[in-house]
Amino acid sequence: MNFSFSEDQNLFNDSVCKYLNDHYNFESRRLLLASDAGFSHKVWSQCAEMGWLHLPFSEAQGGLSGTAVDSIILFESLGRHLVVEPFLETLITFGGVLRRVNSDAASGCIGPLMAGELQGAFAHFEAASRGRVEHIETLAHPCASGYRLTGKKAVVYNAPNADYLIVSARSAEDGEIMLFLVPSDTIGLTKVCYATVDGHQAAEVELQGAEVTTLLAKGDAAESILRLVVDEALVMMTAELVGAMDILVNITVDYAKQRKQFGVAIAKFQALQHQMSDMFMALELSRSLMYAAAIKLRDNDRNASKFVAAAKVKADKCAQQVAHSAIQIHGGIATTDELSVGHYLKRITILSNLFGSSRHHLQRFNVLSNAQPQ
């Protein structure tokens, strides 16, 4: 076993860290949130120029053939800086479907996506899904030009800025899962847009007989693509959580060394030292399981889904513990909008509930463990 990054991976990590350290701080992020798009197109095109958007696509698709292990490097840093640009949406979920299907229309989107000129969203989960990938109420009725979609998709991140959406539905004829590539200006598709508490842009997407023509996958193929894409997204969310924990441990320790009460730095108090030791342990436990999940995903290991579920459950719980402790140790100031600490808490809370909560992933882990003992 080996848990070191390769030379290329270390170089990539260095360049991601350097760029974000130089160009992405809490204050510049605050300005972005107040802007119309809610994120920086300039940052996005610079990331495209640096090749970050090429990462997961195959060489045949013009990409870098990066694996899940490469992507967690990027996402841990995105988590550290609370990056609001839509990497998870455009690159991992939307892009993740595109790169796994055989479709000219999909291939046609990949080039512009990698160039930073095309935004996507993943309109899959619904209000009642609660993380269950197979739970789809949206229906696809055949019509002369293709299909008419009817249904509602819940909290679709990046939908307000998306040029295209991946929309999942069930066939009204045979109940099979279908995946469509849908232009966002399709008639019958409406978006109720809003800002999210974690600084992103999202929408409730409603389909009222929206006519669509591009079917990307159907049946078992569609379902297995969805499961792979969601698993990969869960690992990237885990990496973001790890990045957020990493920063929270650091800034809390730094703060405790500076903040004086009763005439001494509060870092001298053993009650707080032990709480910070627990924060560190939570971080390292989560990080270790994240590595295992990413490697198993990369290797198409038969236990990959089980490890993804485990890593997500662990990171959810640990990140919450770390964020709560960070606020407690900082004291009142961390309950204000002014300090970054609370913003990490918001992102952590959303990441822990977006594609199903820990309860769902724990049950999934349990089912997979019983089906396939180690």
Partner 1 sequence: MDLAISQADSLFRDEVREFINANLSPNLKRAGLRMTSIFSDFDAAMEWQAILYRQGWLVPEWPEAWGGNNWSLMQRSIFQEESKLAGAPTLLPMGIQMLGPILLKYGTAEQKAALLPRILSGEDIWCQGYSEPNAGSDLASLSMKAEREGDSYILNGTKIWTSFAHRANKIFCLVRTAREGKPQAGISFVLVDMTLPGVTVAPIVSLDGEVEQCQVFFEDVRIPASCLVGQENQGWEVAKYLLEFERGGYSYYVMLDKQLGQIRQLAAQTLCTDDKNYLEDELFSNRLAELEIDKLALEYVEHRIKSASRENSAPGVLSSMAKVVGTELSQQLDLLALELRGCYLAPAQNQVLAPDYTGSTVGPEQGATVMNAYLNNRASTIYGGTAQVQRNIIAKQVLGL
* Shortest spacing between CB 277 and partner 1, in angstroms: 4
Cβ distance to partner 1 smaller for residue 68 or 98: 68
Which of the residues 298 through 337 are near partner 1 (CB under 8 A)? Answer: 298-299, 301, 307, 310, 313-314
Q: How far is CA 61 from CA 53, 236, 302, in A?
A: 12, 22, 26
Burial of 280 (0-12, 13-18, 19+ CB in 10 A): middle
- The beta strands (E) that lie in 124-176 are given as 139-143, 146-157, 164-171
Which of the residues 348 through 367 are near partner 1 (CB under 8 A)? Answer: 362-363, 365-366
Which of the residues 158 through 217 are near partner 1 (CB under 8 A)? Answer: none
Residue 358 corresponds to which tokens in the numbers above?
Answer: 């820990």
Is 19 a binding residue for partner 1 by CB under 8 A? The answer is no
With beta carbons less than 8 A apart as the criterion, state whether 98 and 262 touch: no
The Cα–Cα gap between 183 and 163 comes to: 6
Residue 40 carries which DSSP code?
-
Residue 179 carries which DSSP code?
E
With beta carbons less than 8 A apart as the criterion, state whether 79 and 249 touch: no
Binding mask 249-288 for partner 1 (x = CB under 8 A): x---x--xx---------xx-x--xx-xxx-xx--xxx-x
* Shortest spacing between CB 180 and partner 1, in angstroms: 35
Looking only at the bridges linking them, the beta strands covering 177-183 and 164-171 are antiparallel
Cβ distance to partner 1 smaller for residue 275 or 340: 275
Cβ distance to partner 1 smaller for residue 3 or 262: 3
SS3 209: strand
* Shortest spacing between CB 300 and partner 1, in angstroms: 13
* Shortest spacing between CB 233 and partner 1, in angstroms: 19
Separation of CA 342 from chain center: 19
Residue 145 corresponds to which tokens in the numbers above?
Answer: 């030009």
The Cα–Cα gap between 260 and 251 comes to: 15
* Shortest spacing between CB 46 and partner 1, in angstroms: 27
Residue 165 carries which DSSP code?
E
Stretch that binds partner 1, among 26-34, 46-54, 174-182, 294-302 (CB under 8 A): 294-302
Which of the residues 54 through 93 are near partner 1 (CB under 8 A)? Answer: 69
Binding mask 131-160 for partner 1 (x = CB under 8 A): ------------------------------
Nearest CA to 139 out of 129, 153, 150 is that of 150
Contacting positions for partner 1 (CB under 8 A): 1-6, 9, 69, 249, 253, 256-257, 267-268, 270, 273-274, 276-278, 280-281, 284-286, 288-289, 291-292, 294-296, 298-299, 301, 307, 310, 313-314, 362-363, 365-366, 369-370
